[in-house]
Structure 1
Amino acid sequence: MTRGSRYQRYEGGDPLAPPVDLAEALDAIGEDVMAGYSPERAMREYLRRGDSDRRGLDDLARRIAERRRDLLESHDLDGTLREVAELLEKAVLAERGQLARDVDMDDGDRVLRQLQLDGLPASPAAAVSELSSYEWASSEARETFEQIKDLLGRELLDQRFAGMKQAMEGATDEDRAAVAAMLADLNDLLEKHARGDDTTEDFERFMERHGDFFPERPGSVEELVDALAARAAAAQRMLASMSPEQRAELMELSQQAFGSPALNEQLARLDGNLQGLRPGEDWSGSEQFGGGEGLGLGDGTGVLQDVAELDALAEQLQQSYAGARLDDVDLDALARQLGDEAAVDARTLAEIERALRSSGYLQRGSDGQLRLSPKAMRQLGRALLRDAADRLSGRQGARELRAGGGSADATGGTREWAFGDTEPWDLPRTVLNAVRREVATGDRAAGTRGVRLEIGDVEVVESEQRTQAAVALLVDTSFSMAMDGRWVPMKRTALALHQLVSTRFRGDRLELVGFGRHAEVLEIEQLTALDAIWQKGTNLHHGLLLAQRHFRRHPGMQPVLLVVTDGEPTAHLEGSGDVWFEYPPHPVTLARTVTELDNVVRMGAQTTFFRLGEDPGLARFLDALARRAGGRVVAPELDDLGAAVVGSYLGDRAARSPWGGSGGSGGFGGFGRGFWAG
């Protein structure tokens, strides 16, 4: 026996598209976190903006608002009234022509008919009502007038059951009787359901008898009520959106639907049942239409259903309610309103949100707040380090650094072999790469015993220099850093250097010190999440004291001091531990700062100052400190700060390496993107 298969349209976007890449999302979120946003807010902002490959929530919401506005501004609601008036005019004109041509008609009868036609009310509804008992002399006029009754019946049905206007065109008396029977049974079912007396068999019998009227094939009474109530509520909002005159006309005309008030009575009964079962629907709202394209009752109801759906989508995309998730967005509705591409964008954003929450990049702390996890910090650090590498490799005279370290101590890492490498092969990874390649390309036949190596399969063992360093990165966290837009570049620099040391030079010891009004040792997670400090004071004196403590803890390592600042020292520690602050810088503050720098120099530290900004006083001061310490001053642009610090660190390592080398001018030369590869 064969099992039957069912097929439906694929709704997942490109079936061959790779899984969502979180790298760009994490980079953007990390930037906002370093700028002071909470991770939750940063994630929300990313989802709102989108990225280079997809629209964000803001763009989708804008398009939703534009479509809503276009629907209301391009239509009005008197389409049915216009059509009735046109048919009425056509019928009366045909009747007048027949009266003029019929020479056999009694003159008195002719005059009475003409007077009746001449005295018709200006209101189409009143005219139709008056002519409902008129004996038409013209068969063409009679047929046209019957079209009015038929139109009204089809429009009223189309208001509650989409598509009925077209389906009932040219309907017979038998078709109208089937509609009447369906409405009666439907109202009986809904009233029974409201009392709680209905059964599954009742619904199944109803669908078996009248299922052709419901092509959407609801699976239960509740689904049937949901669909009908949404349409009926839209019909009520359409009536409320009309002018009082239009509304009165239609209410009067509705009594003529199919030539009797019976249909209108059944529909009024249906509206009452649905409103009782779904009181939460918007039964009393209204909209302001301002266009010139007339809508019939059914089409107008459909437009208002679209407007309601657009409003629901706008709320879902806004994500402003408690517990909001992008999984809440109705993708089917979004595709109906904006097209499949918009639904794919929203689905991808939802996948990114789920992945960020489930992949371990965001963690909840003991206080319940989301934070970037160590995994996220490593990912962000890799991206920042890669950016620094790109900038270094673009400098004039730069060349790649092939070796991962300086001599024979393995780092535990491997990388792809490149011409000129002398490191030993990592045989297990090399063979595994070859097997994977052959399987992926289909080159490996079943039962094959050997493996064919290619150059691209080879990986070599990385080694690390034996010379180790104790690195103190002192970053200015004073008021001016935040005020002048240097806060985030400072954090990016610290994170890139932390990533480099923790992954490629694990034997080195890095300590991050923030110095503002006072100085403190910061973990990378603390520094990344540190809000801008709006407190005046640049206490380099305290920072140098903490750097010396770090160097003393690692007496066998080469001390390296890196200082990032945009201002002269304006604070120092007193013997009591209190902070002394004065601006302009006090001579005592400068003297104590210089004293501690001398202590650092006596410990043998290699020193580099990174000057931000164009303050001439700061330039003179740092130049003097660099000459005193035998170090150097680098004045990078903000975008180049990370590359400058990383390049300086690598240059100092090259100067200490067993095979020598030069860091080049400012510590940049000699190192490109190769220091992070692998």
Structure 2
Amino acid sequence: MAYRYGEYHDGPDPLAPPYDVRAALDEMGDAILSGSTPVHALRDLLKRGLPGMRDNRGLDDMLREVRRRRRELRERGRLDGTLERARALLDQAIGQERAELFPDPSDDARLREAELDSLPDDTASAIQELTSYEWRSAAARQTFEELRALLRQEVLDSQFRGLREALANPDPAAMERVRQMMGELNDMLEADARGEHTQEDFDRFMSKYGDLFPEQPRNLEELVDQLARRAAATQRMLASLTPRQREELANLMAQTLEQAGLSDQMRRLGQQLQTRRPDLAWNSPERMTGDDPMGMGDAVTALEELADLNQLESALRQDYPGARLDDIDEDSIRRALGRSAVDDLEALKRVERELEEQGYLQRRRGKLELTPKAVRRLGETALRRVFTSLEAGRRGDHDQHDAGAAGELTGASRPWRFGDEQPIDVVRTLVNGIRRTGSTIQLSVDDFEVAETERRSAAAVCLLVDLSYSMALRGTWAAAKETALALQTLVASKFPQDAVQIVGFSNYARVLQPDELAGLDWDMVQGTNLHHALLIAGRHLDRHPDFEPVVLVVTDGEPTAHLLRNGQSAFEWPPSRETLELTLAEIDKMTRRRATINVFMLAADERLKEFVDEVARRNGGRVFSPSAERLGEYVVSDFLRQRRIRR
């Protein structure tokens, strides 16, 4: 047997590795750190498309394609094509009849000409009067029958997609079969309304009339949806015509259905469809800008597709309360954009589900929130970016995956004791087991030994982060949060013996928990209360008297508020003398605690420069003026430098 291999086209690549939702979380993290909520960050991600997935379209890409497709449909043609064609055939038949009557000198010929002269201008009324007219011209009779066949096909095709082909043959049996189909369809819908319909009834119906429904619905619900959308499109087509055109075409439709013996059945069907699907736009006009006349069936098909595209556009925008990807109908996507768009949509839905199922997002009281696991991931990403910058700049520490709590190995070992964190000395442990048991190694607790390491001092770390509104105005807010996350992650992963505390301050100061850092928003209040932040940091250092103190301050403004004795915040700008004196007094207390304060200044304000210079003079710490993009790099490298010195 011969085999031929080629590119797989039936959906997503089944051998492709599963998508790593952590990359999606990282993309969301940038928006969240900038102040976006998790739900908006997720929506923005799904609109842009997923990072790392080749050829994957986001919602915005699909939306652009839907709008392009809608423009093409609107420019396809005019809706009055059937009226125009019917008028042309009517004029042709009348002209052929007049040509037959003109040579005849009889009174009968003159009476017939007078009858033709008195025909109403309205196309529908003229056709109605000519229905009983006895044509003298065989060509005129044939043209008029062609007109009636055209109307019969177009009118029924506007209600049932595909009946145009079924009625192309003028066999009366074909029309009788359509009548039977409509009767049984109405009976089935009424039985369903009474709760008496079964799937077996529908299967029997489709076995008899399935060829009349090219979309091949699988159940009654799908059939109702298809028929209702087409019936609503027919109503919209009529609403889109001028009043005169609407009246003419409505009369033509009514005449055609009456002559075909379908008027009552079609009325029953229309009422049931409108009752079942009142949500469809039944009478909304649609503007078509094309020049080519379209037949009635083609015009209804175009309007049906336009309705699908309008509804699809609304779902793809996802800009309404409670919007979810599940609101986007896959059948509409497939009809409008093809199978590949369905695969893209499923990929987006999968990421949304995976973020929740893998524990990165949770819904609490209907609100989407980051989990602690997601915050840890964002911290790891922030730290990784910092280390990447440090490596690129050839300075500072770099990412060491084997770093831990232990110091440098001394070369000695000792028996393991409960609670030891030093690494296991594997060689000595195995030797102990062999000595005790002989050739067979069966380890016991007493066999284990640990490698001795140098003692590494612990540090009490305080990061004071400005939360004032000016941080958001200057575009430094996201960088400050990312820096705090990076430092928190660094201490937790490489220096777990350290005690880290992050304090945010605006008009008041407060301790920030790691889990709230990512979603933290700035405070729209007046005041930069560094005095209160230093008070909280001082209490943290006092709780760890044997730890090495590390104090880092990130701010873009001088102190403009202080804490009163009654616990209230006092704000004044320019800063009052009392605010500066109380803040500097806390700086002096930090100096007596042997805590070096390094300040990271995010603005070039002269008053801020004077203040931080005074802090450096009193405390001996350093002042940095990094850009927002390099803030994390400066803070982390400075912390690592201090830890290396103290170790």
Helix, strand or coil at the partner of 1:547:
helix
1:84 is aligned, of 61, 81, 86, to 86
1:523-557 residue CA offsets vs partner (Å, 9 max, x unmatched): 12234333321222223233223323222322332
Deviation for aligned residue 1:155: 0.9
Q: Distance in 2 between matches of 1:567 and 1:211?
A: 76
Q: Distance in 2 between matches of 1:530 and 1:399?
A: 28
Q: Distance in 1 between matches of 2:454 and 2:131?
A: 100
Is structure 2 residue 412 aligned with structure 1 residue 381? Answer: no
Q: Which residue of 2 aligns with 1:594?
A: 584
Q: Which residue of 1 aligns with 2:419?
A: none
Q: Which residue of 2 aligns with 1:521?
A: 511
Q: Which residue of 1 aligns with 2:370?
A: 372
Cα distance change of structure 1 residues 30 and 236 upon mapping to structure 2, 3 Å threshold: same
Q: Which residue of 2 aligns with 1:542?
A: 532
Q: Distance in 1 between matches of 2:123 and 2:531?
A: 92
Cα distance change of structure 1 residues 180 and 571 upon mapping to structure 2, 3 Å threshold: closer
Mean CA deviation greater in 386-395 or 640-649:
386-395
Deviation for aligned residue 1:227: 3.0
Mean CA deviation greater in 382-391 or 15-24:
15-24
Q: Distance in 1 between matches of 2:246 and 2:469?
A: 66
Deviation for aligned residue 1:194: 4.4
1:413-424 to structure 2, matched below 5 A, reads none
Q: Conserved in 1, the CA contact under 8 Å of 2:390 and 2:397?
A: no
Q: Distance in 1 between matches of 2:368 and 2:197?
A: 49
Q: Which residue of 1 aligns with 2:22?
A: 23
Q: Conserved in 2, the CA contact under 8 Å of 1:90 and 1:141?
A: yes
Helix, strand or coil at the partner of 2:168:
coil
1:426-453 residue CA offsets vs partner (Å, 9 max, x unmatched): 99xxxxxxxxxxxxxxxxxxxxxxxxxx
Cα distance change of structure 1 residues 545 and 183 upon mapping to structure 2, 3 Å threshold: closer
1:134-213 to structure 2, matched below 5 A, reads 134-194=133-193, 202-213=201-212
Q: Which amino acid aligns with 2:357?
A: S
Q: Distance in 1 between matches of 2:194 and 2:362?
A: 50
Is structure 2 residue 342 aligned with structure 1 residue 340? Answer: no
Mean CA deviation greater in 294-303 or 206-215:
206-215
Q: Distance in 1 between matches of 2:40 and 2:520?
A: 15
Cα distance change of structure 1 residues 513 and 323 upon mapping to structure 2, 3 Å threshold: closer
Q: Distance in 2 between matches of 1:281 and 1:464?
A: 76
Q: Distance in 1 between matches of 2:635 and 2:184?
A: 80
Q: Which residue of 1 aligns with 2:523?
A: 533
Q: Distance in 2 between matches of 1:359 and 1:596?
A: 45
Mean CA deviation greater in 115-124 or 371-380:
115-124
Q: Which residue of 1 aligns with 2:548?
A: 558
Q: Which residue of 2 aligns with 1:443?
A: none
Q: Which segments of 5 or more consecutive residues in structure 2 lack a partner in the other structure?
A: 1-7, 411-422, 428-450
Deviation for aligned residue 1:612: 0.9
Cα distance change of structure 1 residues 207 and 528 upon mapping to structure 2, 3 Å threshold: closer
Q: Conserved in 1, the CA contact under 8 Å of 2:33 and 2:478?
A: yes
1:324-369 residue CA offsets vs partner (Å, 9 max, x unmatched): 421231112112113334333322222222122222112355x664
Q: Which residue of 2 aligns with 1:610?
A: 600
Is structure 2 residue 398 aligned with structure 1 residue 407? Answer: no
Is structure 2 residue 616 aligned with structure 1 residue 626? Answer: yes
Q: Which amino acid aligns with 1:90?
A: Q
1:234-273 to structure 2, matched below 5 A, reads 234-254=233-253, 257=256, 260-273=259-272
Cα distance change of structure 1 residues 334 and 201 upon mapping to structure 2, 3 Å threshold: closer
Q: Which residue of 2 aligns with 1:512?
A: 502
Cα distance change of structure 1 residues 50 and 543 upon mapping to structure 2, 3 Å threshold: same
Q: Conserved in 1, the CA contact under 8 Å of 2:97 and 2:136?
A: yes
Q: Distance in 2 between matches of 1:197 and 1:399?
A: 76
Deviation for aligned residue 1:496: 0.8
Q: Which residue of 2 aligns with 1:356?
A: 355
Q: Conserved in 1, the CA contact under 8 Å of 2:162 and 2:212?
A: no
Q: Distance in 2 between matches of 1:38 and 1:513?
A: 22
1:126-170 residue CA offsets vs partner (Å, 9 max, x unmatched): 332333333334433322221111111111110121022133223
Mean CA deviation greater in 465-474 or 486-495:
465-474
Deviation for aligned residue 1:273: 4.3
Q: Conserved in 1, the CA contact under 8 Å of 2:590 and 2:596?
A: no
Q: Conserved in 1, the CA contact under 8 Å of 2:161 and 2:214?
A: no
Deviation for aligned residue 1:277: 5.2
Cα distance change of structure 1 residues 425 and 303 upon mapping to structure 2, 3 Å threshold: farther
Cα distance change of structure 1 residues 174 and 535 upon mapping to structure 2, 3 Å threshold: closer
Mean CA deviation greater in 246-255 or 55-64:
55-64
Identity in percent: 45
Q: Which amino acid aligns with 2:237?
A: M
Q: Which amino acid aligns with 1:79?
A: G
Q: Which residue of 1 aligns with 2:4?
A: none
Q: Conserved in 1, the CA contact under 8 Å of 2:504 and 2:533?
A: yes
Helix, strand or coil at the partner of 1:609:
strand
Q: Which residue of 2 aligns with 1:309?
A: 308
Q: Conserved in 1, the CA contact under 8 Å of 2:396 and 2:641?
A: no
TM-score normalised to structure 1 length:
0.79
Deviation for aligned residue 1:378: 0.8
1:13-53 residue CA offsets vs partner (Å, 9 max, x unmatched): 34344333323432343344344444334333443454555
Q: Distance in 1 between matches of 2:23 and 2:399?
A: 27
1:9-88 to structure 2, matched below 5 A, reads 12-50=11-49, 54-61=56-63, 63-65=65-67, 67-68=69-70, 70-72=72-74, 74-88=76-90
Deviation for aligned residue 1:619: 1.7
Deviation for aligned residue 1:465: 7.3
Cα distance change of structure 1 residues 325 and 573 upon mapping to structure 2, 3 Å threshold: closer
Cα distance change of structure 1 residues 472 and 251 upon mapping to structure 2, 3 Å threshold: closer
Cα distance change of structure 1 residues 195 and 631 upon mapping to structure 2, 3 Å threshold: closer
C-alpha RMSD of the superposition: 3.5
Q: Which amino acid aligns with 1:646?
A: V
Deviation for aligned residue 1:69: 5.2
Q: Which residue of 1 aligns with 2:420?
A: none
Q: Conserved in 1, the CA contact under 8 Å of 2:154 and 2:296?
A: yes
Deviation for aligned residue 1:392: 1.6
Deviation for aligned residue 1:501: 1.0
TM-score normalised to structure 2 length:
0.82
Deviation for aligned residue 1:251: 3.2
Helix, strand or coil at the partner of 2:510:
strand
Q: Distance in 1 between matches of 2:258 and 2:326?
A: 49
Q: Conserved in 2, the CA contact under 8 Å of 1:149 and 1:256?
A: no
Q: Distance in 1 between matches of 2:270 and 2:561?
A: 77
Helix, strand or coil at the partner of 2:290:
coil
Cα distance change of structure 1 residues 464 and 388 upon mapping to structure 2, 3 Å threshold: farther
Q: Distance in 2 between matches of 1:84 and 1:33?
A: 62
1:565-618 residue CA offsets vs partner (Å, 9 max, x unmatched): 112223334555454443323334333333332332333334321111111222
Helix, strand or coil at the partner of 1:529:
coil
Deviation for aligned residue 1:560: 1.4
Cα distance change of structure 1 residues 613 and 426 upon mapping to structure 2, 3 Å threshold: farther
Q: Distance in 2 between matches of 1:345 and 1:397?
A: 43
Q: Distance in 2 between matches of 1:244 and 1:613?
A: 68
Cα distance change of structure 1 residues 607 and 332 upon mapping to structure 2, 3 Å threshold: same
Helix, strand or coil at the partner of 1:238:
helix
